[in-house]
Structure 1
Amino acid sequence: MATGRVVKWPKIFLYGDSLTQFSFSAEGCWGALVADHFQRRADVVVRGFSGYNSRQCRALLPYVASDLNGVVAATIFLGANDASEDNSQQAIPLQEYAQNLKDIVAHFQQLDVSPIVITPPVLDGESWQRYCGETGKPYSKEEELTTKYAHTCANTAASLKVPCIDLHTAMINQDDWKGLLCDGLHFSRRGSELLASLLIPTMEQLVVGRVPSHPLLPPWDTIHHDPATTFTQWCTQHSP
């Protein structure tokens, strides 16, 4: 039965903090929406880590190296935790945050992975403070801080000439922007849909020639009664 031919799915890698970790959840579902859009064309691999900042994610890269095999594009979605008050364990100075982003971008580019940077989302401080009080979490974030980190993120991406989704600005320009968040920090369904609507067109442009424009493998109703014949022919025609 062995043919020596293997269909290789290109991969899209989502890298970040809880906003990425929760990207397949019921409300924070932007990753699932991306996966749905690219279904049967590319696999979406999620590596999100709740509470992590850019320093931790930069140091983590060698430990997730095997996950990057076959990856053609990656999102870098960090800063929501870096933008914490100085007394917080998560806080990262602005200058270091910018350098960490540069280092992560460079790491992906060295592996021939095309990066897309996403700015931290807007923060609804009142709702997040209430949520922290209800759950016993320390409150260490302010919208003014988040805005500074979002601007730094966008400026860093521009300096590197890599695509950037300015999510912070897109959210604040929405009517009832607080409804884009479920707890003041993490996405509601509407927030996830907004991010996906911004990200998918940029991702499509970035992966032209590296992700097929049509589904991998032939449609079911074109397969020969001996399926292996059809699959062998398809692999021969579509081999790189």
Structure 2
Amino acid sequence: MAAAPSEAVAGSYARRLFWPRILLFGDSITEFSFQENGWGALLAQRLARKCDVLNRGLSGYNTRWAKIVLPRLIQKDSNAKNTIAVTVFFGANDSALKDVNPKQHVPLEEYADNLKSMVLYLKSVDIAEDKIILVTPPPLHEAAWEKECIAKGEKLNRLNSTTGEYAKTCVKVAEDCGTCVIDLWTLMQKNNKDFSCYLSDGLHLSGEGNNFLANQLWSLLEQRISMLQMLLPYWRDVDHLHPEASLLDNPHDKQ
């Protein structure tokens, strides 16, 4: 018969270990971020034992649908104070051309209103504006994306110039709401750079594009993440004769 847990261990069951978290909310570029060498996976690797990175990417979604589901994904609860950051990364689908892709298209003004609505919701569940990071859609490589569209029997349904208007609107919303922003559309084209290397199919990120975004995010997160300590003791520091003393009395575990 297994031995009953010690009083210290039994008492620990009621004391939850709260793990800090970063939540990634967006469309397919976010959903795919946990693929090999994806930007979400790269963040998670850097933050192992310090912070969870949660993927809440929804392929094909626009801001009209995103603002509806956001309250189902994050609520006002004990985890709010442990949230390090939330990324809101939409626009690649909203900017689809209305006459070619009306299902995903969202008018520019509504796009701005939807982003503001999501920021206000996050603030209402105790996610401060300095923890919210808006990310603009990346530039669109029209020739490459047109090949993808033709392969599906469709016409080119996005334009880089149109995507740029949505990116500018995203930046303006961030300024108005006091959040952080990563303007991928501008950064990837800086100095007239050939940005095709950042894209796998003209729309989604390549390995180089994933690394680029991960580094941009890291520069925003590094200072606040530097304060995080490794959760639970390093194994060599555990008292193997009295493990409870090491594993249940870590001051960093208490919330």
Unaligned residue ranges in structure 1 (runs of 5+): none
Partner of 2:146: 129
Paired amino acid for 2:165: K
Alignment of 1:32-181 (within 5 A): 32-65=41-74, 70-71=79-80, 72=83, 73-87=85-99, 88=101, 89-113=103-127, 114-173=131-190, 175-181=193-199
CA distance in 2, matches of 1:237, 1:157: 33
Paired residue for 2:210, among 180, 189, 192? Answer: 192
8 Å CA contact 1:41–1:212 kept in 2: the answer is no
CA-based RMSD of the aligned residues comes to 2.0
Please give the per-residue CA displacement for 1:57-87, whole angstroms capped at 9, x wherever unaligned. Answer: 0011232236986251200000000001112
8 Å CA contact 2:76–2:126 kept in 1: the answer is no
Partner of 1:213: 228
Paired amino acid for 2:202: G
Q: TM-score, normalised by structure 2?
A: 0.86
Paired amino acid for 1:91: H
Task: Judge which range, 136-145 or 175-184, deviates more.
Answer: 136-145
* Percent sequence identity over aligned pairs: 37
Partner of 1:228: 244
Cα deviation, residue 159, structure 1: 1.0
SS in 2 for 1:80: coil
Cα deviation, residue 112, structure 1: 1.7
Paired amino acid for 1:106: L
Unaligned residue ranges in structure 2 (runs of 5+): none
8 Å CA contact 1:132–1:138 kept in 2: the answer is yes
Return closer, same or farther for 1:231/1:50 CA change in 2, 3 Å cut-off: same
Partner of 1:201: 219
Task: Judge which range, 69-78 or 145-154, deviates more.
Answer: 69-78
Task: Judge which range, 135-144 or 113-122, deviates more.
Answer: 135-144
Return closer, same or farther for 1:33/1:99 CA change in 2, 3 Å cut-off: same
Greater C-alpha Rg = 2
